[in-house]
Amino acid sequence: MRKLVAGLIVGASMMVAAPAQAAPVRPNDPGLSGQWGIAQTRVDEAWSTTRGSSRVIVAVLDTGVSPLPDLAGRLLPGRDFANHDNDAADDNGHGTMAATVIAASADNRTGIAGVCWFCRILPVKVLNAKGGGSYTDIALGLRYAADRGASVISLSLGGSEDSAMLRDAVAYAEGKGALVVAAAGNRGVTAPHFPAAFPSVLAVGGVTPTGTRYAWSNYGGWVDVTAPGCNPAQGPSGTVGQYCGTSSATPFVAGAAGLLASTDPAPSGAAVRSALLASRAIPSGRIDVAAALRSLPYDGDVLRPSAAFGAVRAVVRGRVTITAAASDQHGVSRVQLYAGGRLIGTDTTAPYSFTWQSAPISATVALELRAYDRHGNRTVVRRTVRADNAGPVVRLAKAGRTMTARATDPSGVARLELVVNGRVTARHAGATRRFAVPARARSVQVRAYDRAGNVRVATGKLGG
C-alpha cells in the first residue's frame, strides 16, 4: 500500500534576520552571523574538539541534494527513488537546505558553516518536486542509505499514519549501525508523526533562540530532543535563506550526531543517541553538543590530545604568564606546565594559563606542556626560553667633563641614560656613549637597560 507523505517545508524560503552570536570557534563564513543556534547548542565549543570526519556519512532522505561549492568533494553519488533513477539532484530546494545545515564547508568565506564540517553527504531522493512522496520510497531509501554505510540518516519529512513497512526499514538501518533522526512535524500538536514517533528514532522538535518551543512544532513525550528551528541554509543556487521548521531542526541534530560519530573509538548509533539524550537542557529538551561529546564512552581511545603554547617571548623576566591551548575529542582532563623540569602548575579548565616566577634565573630554560585526555593519553610539547633577570654590566670612564659608558648584556642593551643630580639629562639608544657632564654636577649616574627590561645603575666619580 502506498501512503503519501509530505515533506516539511514550512518557512523554507522565508528570509529572517537573526542576531550574531559570539563563539569559541568562529569560522569566517558570511552566513554565520545569523546562525544563532550554533552558540545556543554549544556546537562552537564542540568544534574546538572535532569538526567531523570524512569517514562519517550522513544520508539526507529528502527532495535530493544539488551540488554546491560548500559541499564540493563530500557529496556522494546517490539515488532517486521518486523518479526511479540515479540522479539525486534537488528539484525543490528542501533537501539541499537540509544538507547544508548538516555539512556546509566552514571557514571558507562562503555561505554558512555546517554543523559537521567534514562529514560526507549521501543524497537519497524520496520526495518529488512538490515535496510529496510515499512510505514505500522512504523505506527503500532507508535501506539504501544503510547499505551504503550511513552513520546517520536524516529525514526532514513524515506522515500521520504508522507503517509496519517503515518500522521494518528503520529497524534494518539501525541493525546496520545507523542512527535515524526524523522531524517531529509542524502542526503544533501532540499527535505522533512517523517515522519520528518510532521509539528508536530520534524525534526532533524546534525551539527558538530562548529555548522555548516554536508554536508550529509538534510536541509530547514521544519527541526526544529539540534543536534550533530556524537556521540559515543554502538552496540549490547557493543563496542563503532562512530555513524554518522541524525540517531545519532535524538536520541540525543530524550534523551534531555526525560530529559525535567522528570521534575515536567510533561510537555506535545507539551511543550517539544516548549522548544526545543525556545532553538535553531542562525543560526545553534542547541538545548541548559539547556536553554530548563529553558523555560519549571513551574506553579504547588511543588518540592523544592536541596541545600548543600560546604566545611566549623568546626572552622573559620576572613573573611570566604562559597560556596554552589543548583539545581532545573526549575532553582534556588537565594541562601542566613544567619549567626546568619543575612542575609550575596544573590547570583543568580552558583557557589554560600559568604563572611562572622566572627570577632569579638568568639562563636558558626548557618549558614543557603536558596535556592529558580523559582516558589518560598524554601529549608533550616543548620549547625553550631565555630567562634574563639580571641587568647589564656597566663600565664608566671619566675624562675631564665627559663620562664614557659601556654596557654589555646577553639580551642586548636597549639604552643608556645619564642621570645628573637625580634627573635624566641625556639618553642614548645603544650600548656605548660618551656623555658631557655639566660643571655643576653633584652626582652622576648611568642607567643601562637591557632588551628584557632589566636595569642597572652605575655611579660615576666626579673627582679628577
Alpha helices of 262-326 — where are they, by DSSP H? Answer: 269-278, 289-295
Tell the residue number behind the cell numbers 562519517, with chain if given: 56
Alpha helices of 204-332 — where are they, by DSSP H? Answer: 246-261, 269-278, 289-295
Catalytic entry in 163, 247, 248, 262: 247
> Order of strands, edge to edge, in the sheet holding 413-420?
423-428, 413-420, 444-450, 455-460
User: Nearest to residue 90, comparing CAs of 256, 246, 251, 238?
Assistant: 238
Q: What angle do CA 372, 373, 379 make, to 5 degrees?
A: 45
Catalytic entry in 44, 62, 80, 328: 62
Catalytic entry in 94, 193, 330, 375: 94
91 is a catalytic site residue:
no
| 98 Cβ neighbours under 8 A, 6+ residues apart | 60, 62, 65, 154, 156, 233, 243, 247, 248, 250, 251
Task: Determine the residue type at 89.
Answer: A
In 10 A of CB 440, how many CB atoms? 7
Task: Determine the residue type at 167.
Answer: R
User: Nearest to residue 205, comparing CAs of 252, 152, 259?
Assistant: 252
299 is a catalytic site residue:
no
- Strand boundaries in 278-422, DSSP class E: 306-309, 315-316, 319-327, 332-339, 342-347, 352-357, 363-373, 378-387, 393-399, 402-408, 413-420
User: Nearest to residue 379, comparing CAs of 326, 341, 322, 340?
Assistant: 326
The three-state secondary structure class of 38 is: helix
CA atoms within 13 A on the CB side of 234: 27
Q: Which three cell numbers stand for residue 203?
A: 524525534
94 is a catalytic site residue:
yes
User: Residues with catalytic annotation?
Assistant: 62, 94, 247
